[in-house]
Amino acid sequence: MEEKTFTVITEEGKEEEYEVVLTFKSDETNKAYVIYKRPGEDEEEVFAAIYDEEKNDGGELTRIETEEEWDMIEEVLNSFLDEEENTEE
């Protein structure tokens, strides 16, 4: 996978860089999602957000608030990691 990174400006004005693990769009919710992590850390600690590329210059991340969306994201991530593990063998 090609490394992709993005920078988030926190509410305190601090810039934080993250590495994209996976992006996908759900037909069920009609939303795009991004799963990401801090560079150099393992994939055990990942974050996820709704991604709207048309908002603000460069896109906007929005918090995921429903348990159903979290369950879907966990399922997609687990499938992705299983697939990656199988291709490495």
Q: What is the DSSP letter of 24?
A: E
pLDDT (mean) for 53-76: 87
| Counted domains in the chain | 1
Start-to-end Cα distance in the chain: 16
Give the pLDDT confidence score for residue 42 in this predicted structure. 65
The angle formed by the CA atoms of residues 83, 87 and 89, to the nearest 5 degrees, is 120
Query: Residue 57: which domain range?
Result: 5-88
Tell me: the pLDDT tens digits for 5-51? 888 888 899 999 999 999 999 999 999 999 999 887 666 788 999 99
d(CA 44, CA 29): 26
Q: Whole-structure pTM over 0.85, yes or no?
A: no
Token pair, residue 87, equals: 């291709």
